[in-house]
């Protein structure tokens, strides 16, 4: 039976798009559902385009009920992927999917991570610090923002004159290339 993936995203969902594309014709796995805390997130449209069901929830449901865990269990989800998802994952979800929740972060963790560090804020901080190297991290999720065990890091040089748009683009290229492959490799290790 195919492995089943749930994607959580709060915004545009360009990574979710690459994952949905990657597994569209896969024999190994399929994206079973896309979930978002943001009813205006463009990722919902992207899911629609792939005819993948989506689910919107609010913070109260996420933090004070078991609804989301129950939904994922009912859908027989094997792996949970965070792709630009900005809420901290609650304990009940972590316990329901031990070592099965992964996140992507647009920096070389542990640098430039933690609460409030997302999207352009990360890249601005990297430029302000005069970093010569930047990159992406894919990691297991734990109860803290951006802190679980690292699975993969990709690096690139920050060249003189690089703007926020340029380093963001370099990072996105790496994310889009590697996130689906890392997910595939992890899924292959599951029974
Ligand atoms: C990605 O760059 C991802 O690394 C980042 O949000 C972006 C989402 O883009 N995640 C974080 O900053 C988490 N702390 P997308 O919606 O186009 O995939």
15, 117, 154 from 123: Cα distances, Å: 17, 9, 15
In sign, the C-alpha dihedral spanning 139, 123, 121, 15 is negative
Domain limits, the chain: 3-189
CA 186: distance to chain centroid?
14
pLDDT for residue 191 is more than 70: no
Q: What is the pLDDT of residue 190?
A: 81
Q: Considering the domain 3-189 in this protein, what is its CATH number?
A: 3.40.50.170
Quick check: CB of 180 below 6 Å from ligand 1? no
Q: Which residue minimizes the CA distance to atom 2 of ligand 1? A: 106
Q: What integer is the mean pLDDT of 173-184?
A: 98
The predicted pLDDT at position 112 comes to 97
Ligand 1 near 9 CB (within 6 A) = yes
pLDDT at 102 > cutoff 70 = yes
Per the annotation, binding residues are 13-15, 103
Structure tokens at 147: 């802190």
pLDDT 10s digits, 59-98? 999 999 999 999 999 999 999 999 999 999 999 999 999 9
Whole-angstrom distance, CA of residue 18 vs CA of residue 138: 15
Q: Which of 83, 112, 136, 148 to mutate to test the pocket of ligand 1 (most atoms within 8 A of CB)?
A: 83
| Choice between 144 and 191, residue whose per-residue pLDDT is larger | 144
Residues 103-162 have pLDDT tens digits of 999 999 999 999 889 989 999 999 999 999 999 999 999 989 899 999 999 999 999 999
Which whole-number Å values give the CA distances from 159 to 1, 130, 134, in the listed order? 46, 10, 10
């Amino acid at each position: 039976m195919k492995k089943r993936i749930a994607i959580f995203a709060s915004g545009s969902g360009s990574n979710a798009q690459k994952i949905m594309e990657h597994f569209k014709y896969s024999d190994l796995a399929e994206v079973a559902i896309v979930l978002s805390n943001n009813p205006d997130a463009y990722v919902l449209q992207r899911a629609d385009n792939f005819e993948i069901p989506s689910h919107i929830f609010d913070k109260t449901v996420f933090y004070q009920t078991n609804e989301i865990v129950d939904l994922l269990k009912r859908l027989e989800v094997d792996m949970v992927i965070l792709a630009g998802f900005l809420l901290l994952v609650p304990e009940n979800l972590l316990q329901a999917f031990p070592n099965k929740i992964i996140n992507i972060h647009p920096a070389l963790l542990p640098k430039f991570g933690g609460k409030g560090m997302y999207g352009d804020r990360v890249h601005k901080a990297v430029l302000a610090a005069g970093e010569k190297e930047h990159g992406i991290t894919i990691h297991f999720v734990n109860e803290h923002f951006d802190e679980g065990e690292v699975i993969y890091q990709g690096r690139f040089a920050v060249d003189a004159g690089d703007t926020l748009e340029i380093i963001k683009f370099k990072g996105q290229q790496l994310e889009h290339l590697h996130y689906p492959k890392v997910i595939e490799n992890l899924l292959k290790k599951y029974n």
